[in-house]
Structure 1
Amino acid sequence: MGKFKKALLGLVGIVVVASLVGGCGGSGQNKANDANKSDSSSTTQQQKSKQKDYAEADINVLLSEAKDNAAAANQNYKGKAVKIIGGHIGNIDSDVKYITIDGTAAKYTMIHIRCDVDAKDKELKDAVLALKKGQNVTVYGTIKEVGDIMGYSLKLDKVESAQ
Protein backbone atom coordinates (compact mmCIF):
# COMPACT_ATOMS: atom_id res chain seq x y z
CA MET A 1 0.00 0.00 0.00
CA GLY A 2 2.95 2.33 0.64
CA LYS A 3 4.17 2.01 -2.96
CA PHE A 4 0.65 2.72 -4.24
CA LYS A 5 0.42 5.95 -2.21
CA LYS A 6 3.85 7.09 -3.44
CA ALA A 7 2.91 6.37 -7.05
CA LEU A 8 -0.41 8.21 -6.67
CA LEU A 9 1.30 11.17 -5.00
CA GLY A 10 3.90 11.26 -7.79
CA LEU A 11 1.16 11.23 -10.43
CA VAL A 12 -0.70 14.08 -8.71
CA GLY A 13 2.56 16.03 -8.50
CA ILE A 14 3.21 15.58 -12.21
CA VAL A 15 -0.32 16.78 -13.07
CA VAL A 16 0.07 19.87 -10.84
CA VAL A 17 3.46 20.77 -12.34
CA ALA A 18 2.19 20.23 -15.88
CA SER A 19 -0.82 22.47 -15.30
CA LEU A 20 1.37 25.22 -13.79
CA VAL A 21 3.80 25.08 -16.70
CA GLY A 22 0.95 25.08 -19.19
CA GLY A 23 -0.73 28.02 -17.47
CA CYS A 24 2.46 30.08 -17.37
CA GLY A 25 3.44 29.28 -20.93
CA GLY A 26 0.14 30.36 -22.41
CA SER A 27 -0.34 33.53 -20.38
CA GLY A 28 1.89 35.66 -22.61
CA GLN A 29 -0.13 34.71 -25.63
CA ASN A 30 -3.38 35.33 -23.71
CA LYS A 31 -2.16 38.78 -22.70
CA ALA A 32 -1.39 39.59 -26.33
CA ASN A 33 -4.83 38.33 -27.33
CA ASP A 34 -6.43 40.35 -24.51
CA ALA A 35 -4.60 43.49 -25.70
CA ASN A 36 -5.84 42.92 -29.24
CA LYS A 37 -9.35 42.34 -27.92
CA SER A 38 -9.11 45.54 -25.88
CA ASP A 39 -8.03 47.56 -28.92
CA SER A 40 -10.77 46.09 -31.08
CA SER A 41 -13.36 46.50 -28.32
CA SER A 42 -12.56 50.21 -27.93
CA THR A 43 -12.95 50.63 -31.68
CA THR A 44 -16.16 48.63 -31.53
CA GLN A 45 -17.35 50.76 -28.59
CA GLN A 46 -16.81 53.94 -30.62
CA GLN A 47 -18.66 52.46 -33.57
CA LYS A 48 -21.56 51.40 -31.34
CA SER A 49 -21.89 54.88 -29.82
CA LYS A 50 -22.15 56.33 -33.31
CA GLN A 51 -24.68 53.67 -34.33
CA LYS A 52 -26.90 53.86 -31.23
CA ASP A 53 -30.60 54.25 -31.67
CA TYR A 54 -31.42 57.31 -29.58
CA ALA A 55 -34.98 57.72 -28.32
CA GLU A 56 -36.02 61.35 -28.76
CA ALA A 57 -37.05 63.07 -25.54
CA ASP A 58 -38.14 66.63 -24.77
CA ILE A 59 -36.13 68.10 -21.90
CA ASN A 60 -39.16 69.68 -20.23
CA VAL A 61 -40.96 66.33 -20.14
CA LEU A 62 -37.91 64.60 -18.66
CA LEU A 63 -37.48 67.27 -15.98
CA SER A 64 -41.19 67.23 -15.14
CA GLU A 65 -41.13 63.45 -14.72
CA ALA A 66 -38.07 63.66 -12.44
CA LYS A 67 -39.74 66.34 -10.34
CA ASP A 68 -43.03 64.41 -10.04
CA ASN A 69 -41.49 60.98 -9.30
CA ALA A 70 -37.71 60.56 -9.54
CA ALA A 71 -37.90 56.85 -8.71
CA ALA A 72 -40.22 56.15 -11.65
CA ALA A 73 -38.15 58.35 -13.97
CA ASN A 74 -34.99 56.52 -12.88
CA GLN A 75 -36.61 53.15 -13.60
CA ASN A 76 -37.91 54.35 -16.99
CA TYR A 77 -34.79 56.08 -18.27
CA LYS A 78 -31.70 54.68 -16.51
CA GLY A 79 -29.40 53.04 -19.07
CA LYS A 80 -31.41 54.36 -22.04
CA ALA A 81 -29.79 56.10 -25.02
CA VAL A 82 -31.61 59.39 -25.60
CA LYS A 83 -31.56 62.39 -27.89
CA ILE A 84 -32.64 65.32 -25.73
CA ILE A 85 -34.17 68.28 -27.52
CA GLY A 86 -35.42 71.67 -26.38
CA GLY A 87 -32.71 72.51 -23.86
CA HIS A 88 -30.08 75.20 -23.49
CA ILE A 89 -26.62 75.32 -21.92
CA GLY A 90 -26.80 76.19 -18.23
CA ASN A 91 -23.17 75.68 -17.26
CA ILE A 92 -19.89 74.61 -18.86
CA ASP A 93 -17.31 73.20 -16.44
CA SER A 94 -13.95 75.01 -16.65
CA ASP A 95 -12.14 71.65 -16.91
CA VAL A 96 -14.57 70.42 -19.63
CA LYS A 97 -15.65 67.52 -17.41
CA TYR A 98 -19.37 68.25 -17.79
CA ILE A 99 -22.02 70.63 -19.06
CA THR A 100 -25.50 71.18 -17.69
CA ILE A 101 -28.60 71.49 -19.83
CA ASP A 102 -31.64 73.37 -18.55
CA GLY A 103 -35.21 73.24 -19.70
CA THR A 104 -37.15 76.18 -21.05
CA ALA A 105 -40.00 76.03 -18.55
CA ALA A 106 -39.26 78.39 -15.63
CA LYS A 107 -40.57 76.00 -12.97
CA TYR A 108 -37.80 73.48 -13.71
CA THR A 109 -34.81 75.77 -13.11
CA MET A 110 -33.56 73.83 -10.04
CA ILE A 111 -33.46 70.52 -11.89
CA HIS A 112 -31.17 70.03 -14.90
CA ILE A 113 -29.37 67.40 -16.94
CA ARG A 114 -25.68 67.00 -16.15
CA CYS A 115 -23.82 65.69 -19.19
CA ASP A 116 -20.46 64.10 -18.38
CA VAL A 117 -17.76 64.56 -21.04
CA ASP A 118 -15.31 61.70 -21.69
CA ALA A 119 -11.82 63.16 -21.16
CA LYS A 120 -10.38 60.91 -23.90
CA ASP A 121 -12.84 62.09 -26.58
CA LYS A 122 -11.05 65.07 -28.16
CA GLU A 123 -13.79 65.61 -30.76
CA LEU A 124 -16.45 65.87 -28.03
CA LYS A 125 -14.30 68.19 -25.90
CA ASP A 126 -13.76 70.46 -28.92
CA ALA A 127 -17.52 70.55 -29.53
CA VAL A 128 -18.10 71.54 -25.89
CA LEU A 129 -15.44 74.26 -26.10
CA ALA A 130 -17.36 75.81 -29.00
CA LEU A 131 -20.58 76.18 -26.93
CA LYS A 132 -21.84 79.29 -25.16
CA LYS A 133 -23.96 79.57 -22.01
CA GLY A 134 -27.64 79.95 -22.93
CA GLN A 135 -27.14 78.37 -26.37
CA ASN A 136 -29.89 76.00 -27.54
CA VAL A 137 -28.52 72.48 -27.98
CA THR A 138 -29.46 68.90 -28.72
CA VAL A 139 -27.55 66.31 -26.71
CA TYR A 140 -27.10 62.59 -27.30
CA GLY A 141 -26.08 60.13 -24.62
CA THR A 142 -27.00 57.45 -22.11
CA ILE A 143 -28.79 58.30 -18.88
CA LYS A 144 -26.80 57.04 -15.91
CA GLU A 145 -29.01 58.17 -13.05
CA VAL A 146 -32.06 60.24 -12.11
CA GLY A 147 -32.44 62.15 -8.85
CA ASP A 148 -35.21 64.31 -7.41
CA ILE A 149 -32.95 67.26 -6.53
CA MET A 150 -30.26 67.44 -9.19
CA GLY A 151 -32.13 65.83 -12.07
CA TYR A 152 -30.45 63.59 -14.64
CA SER A 153 -26.88 62.41 -15.08
CA LEU A 154 -26.01 61.56 -18.67
CA LYS A 155 -22.89 60.09 -20.34
CA LEU A 156 -22.53 62.50 -23.25
CA ASP A 157 -21.89 61.02 -26.70
CA LYS A 158 -22.55 64.07 -28.86
CA VAL A 159 -23.73 67.67 -28.58
CA GLU A 160 -24.89 69.92 -31.39
CA SER A 161 -26.29 73.39 -31.73
CA ALA A 162 -30.06 73.54 -32.12
CA GLN A 163 -32.03 76.14 -34.05
Structure 2
Amino acid sequence: MTLHEIGYQAVQLDGMRGANPQVIAKLLKKYNLKVAGMHLHHERFFTDIDGLVQEALLFGSKILYDKYIDDDQQNDAGYRATRAQLYHVQDALRQLGFTIGLHSPESDYPDLVDGQRVLSYITQPQNGSVLSRNLIHTGLLQPGLIRWKRSSSFQTGRRCCT
Protein backbone atom coordinates (compact mmCIF):
# COMPACT_ATOMS: atom_id res chain seq x y z
CA MET A 1 0.00 0.00 0.00
CA THR A 2 1.37 3.45 -0.89
CA LEU A 3 1.21 6.68 1.08
CA HIS A 4 -1.27 8.04 -1.47
CA GLU A 5 -3.49 4.98 -1.08
CA ILE A 6 -3.71 5.52 2.68
CA GLY A 7 -4.69 9.14 2.22
CA TYR A 8 -1.54 11.21 1.94
CA GLN A 9 -1.54 13.67 -0.94
CA ALA A 10 1.80 15.29 -0.24
CA VAL A 11 5.09 14.81 1.58
CA GLN A 12 7.82 17.12 2.76
CA LEU A 13 11.30 16.32 1.50
CA ASP A 14 14.10 16.24 4.04
CA GLY A 15 16.97 16.95 1.66
CA MET A 16 18.31 14.73 -1.08
CA ARG A 17 20.95 13.02 1.08
CA GLY A 18 22.92 12.09 -2.02
CA ALA A 19 19.93 10.87 -4.03
CA ASN A 20 19.37 12.09 -7.58
CA PRO A 21 16.58 14.73 -7.50
CA GLN A 22 15.33 13.58 -10.93
CA VAL A 23 14.86 10.03 -9.62
CA ILE A 24 13.02 11.28 -6.55
CA ALA A 25 10.76 13.48 -8.70
CA LYS A 26 9.88 10.46 -10.88
CA LEU A 27 9.05 8.38 -7.81
CA LEU A 28 6.82 11.08 -6.42
CA LYS A 29 4.98 11.27 -9.73
CA LYS A 30 4.72 7.47 -9.92
CA TYR A 31 3.15 7.34 -6.46
CA ASN A 32 0.94 10.40 -7.12
CA LEU A 33 2.43 12.51 -4.34
CA LYS A 34 3.02 16.25 -4.31
CA VAL A 35 5.71 18.02 -2.33
CA ALA A 36 4.30 20.23 0.41
CA GLY A 37 7.66 21.66 1.41
CA MET A 38 11.38 21.08 1.17
CA HIS A 39 13.92 21.00 3.98
CA LEU A 40 17.26 22.15 2.60
CA HIS A 41 20.80 22.41 3.91
CA HIS A 42 21.51 25.63 5.81
CA GLU A 43 24.51 26.66 3.71
CA ARG A 44 22.49 26.53 0.48
CA PHE A 45 20.45 29.54 1.62
CA PHE A 46 23.73 31.48 1.65
CA THR A 47 25.49 30.06 -1.41
CA ASP A 48 23.02 28.37 -3.77
CA ILE A 49 19.81 30.37 -4.10
CA ASP A 50 19.56 29.62 -7.83
CA GLY A 51 19.96 25.91 -7.09
CA LEU A 52 17.24 26.10 -4.43
CA VAL A 53 14.87 27.64 -6.96
CA GLN A 54 15.68 25.03 -9.63
CA GLU A 55 15.16 22.17 -7.18
CA ALA A 56 11.92 23.69 -5.90
CA LEU A 57 10.58 24.04 -9.44
CA LEU A 58 11.52 20.42 -10.21
CA PHE A 59 9.41 19.29 -7.26
CA GLY A 60 6.61 21.82 -7.72
CA SER A 61 7.00 23.23 -4.22
CA LYS A 62 7.70 26.82 -3.36
CA ILE A 63 7.91 26.26 0.38
CA LEU A 64 11.55 26.03 1.43
CA TYR A 65 12.83 25.43 4.96
CA ASP A 66 16.32 25.84 6.36
CA LYS A 67 16.46 22.38 7.87
CA TYR A 68 19.07 22.94 10.58
CA ILE A 69 21.49 25.70 11.48
CA ASP A 70 24.98 24.23 11.20
CA ASP A 71 26.71 23.62 14.52
CA ASP A 72 29.45 26.17 13.84
CA GLN A 73 26.74 28.80 13.25
CA GLN A 74 24.91 28.15 16.51
CA ASN A 75 26.05 31.32 18.21
CA ASP A 76 24.85 34.90 18.40
CA ALA A 77 26.53 35.98 15.15
CA GLY A 78 25.35 32.85 13.33
CA TYR A 79 21.75 33.25 14.44
CA ARG A 80 21.75 36.90 13.39
CA ALA A 81 23.28 36.01 10.01
CA THR A 82 20.72 33.23 9.53
CA ARG A 83 17.81 35.56 10.24
CA ALA A 84 19.17 38.22 7.90
CA GLN A 85 19.84 35.72 5.11
CA LEU A 86 16.49 33.93 5.36
CA TYR A 87 14.69 37.27 5.13
CA HIS A 88 16.96 38.27 2.23
CA VAL A 89 16.04 35.07 0.36
CA GLN A 90 12.36 35.50 1.17
CA ASP A 91 12.40 39.09 -0.09
CA ALA A 92 14.20 38.01 -3.28
CA LEU A 93 11.80 35.14 -4.01
CA ARG A 94 8.48 36.41 -2.64
CA GLN A 95 7.33 37.80 -6.01
CA LEU A 96 7.87 34.33 -7.48
CA GLY A 97 5.49 32.91 -4.87
CA PHE A 98 8.04 31.34 -2.53
CA THR A 99 7.68 30.98 1.22
CA ILE A 100 10.89 30.67 3.23
CA GLY A 101 11.07 29.30 6.73
CA LEU A 102 13.01 27.57 9.44
CA HIS A 103 12.41 23.98 10.44
CA SER A 104 13.19 23.36 14.05
CA PRO A 105 11.76 22.34 17.36
CA GLU A 106 12.66 24.98 19.95
CA SER A 107 14.74 22.33 21.72
CA ASP A 108 17.27 22.33 18.85
CA TYR A 109 18.39 25.84 19.78
CA PRO A 110 18.15 26.52 23.51
CA ASP A 111 20.11 29.79 23.25
CA LEU A 112 18.65 33.27 23.60
CA VAL A 113 19.12 36.17 21.19
CA ASP A 114 17.93 39.57 22.37
CA GLY A 115 16.11 37.78 25.22
CA GLN A 116 14.17 35.47 22.86
CA ARG A 117 14.52 31.79 22.07
CA VAL A 118 16.31 31.32 18.74
CA LEU A 119 13.27 30.15 16.76
CA SER A 120 11.23 33.11 17.98
CA TYR A 121 14.07 35.54 17.25
CA ILE A 122 14.68 34.27 13.72
CA THR A 123 11.01 34.12 12.75
CA GLN A 124 9.81 37.36 14.35
CA PRO A 125 8.21 39.62 11.71
CA GLN A 126 10.48 42.02 9.85
CA ASN A 127 9.18 44.89 7.71
CA GLY A 128 5.76 43.24 7.38
CA SER A 129 7.26 39.90 6.37
CA VAL A 130 7.10 36.68 8.39
CA LEU A 131 9.18 33.53 7.99
CA SER A 132 7.34 30.24 8.21
CA ARG A 133 7.96 27.85 11.11
CA ASN A 134 7.82 24.13 10.54
CA LEU A 135 8.06 21.43 13.16
CA ILE A 136 7.00 18.43 11.07
CA HIS A 137 9.60 15.67 10.82
CA THR A 138 9.52 13.70 7.60
CA GLY A 139 11.68 11.16 5.92
CA LEU A 140 12.81 10.84 2.33
CA LEU A 141 11.08 8.83 -0.37
CA GLN A 142 13.79 6.69 -1.98
CA PRO A 143 13.65 3.82 -4.48
CA GLY A 144 12.27 0.86 -2.56
CA LEU A 145 12.20 2.71 0.75
CA ILE A 146 9.78 5.05 2.43
CA ARG A 147 10.76 6.40 5.81
CA TRP A 148 8.20 8.49 7.61
CA LYS A 149 8.53 9.95 11.07
CA ARG A 150 6.05 12.44 12.35
CA SER A 151 6.19 14.20 15.64
CA SER A 152 4.50 17.45 16.53
CA SER A 153 3.16 19.52 13.68
CA PHE A 154 2.98 23.29 13.78
CA GLN A 155 3.21 25.38 10.68
CA THR A 156 2.47 28.97 9.92
CA GLY A 157 2.48 30.60 6.53
CA ARG A 158 1.03 29.29 3.31
CA ARG A 159 0.36 25.62 2.80
CA CYS A 160 0.77 23.69 -0.40
CA CYS A 161 -1.59 21.36 -2.13
CA THR A 162 -4.94 22.53 -0.78
Query: Aligning the two structures, in what range does the TM-score lie when normalised by the shorter sequence?
Result: under 0.3
Higher strand share: 1
TM-score by length of 2: 0.27
Larger radius of gyration: 1
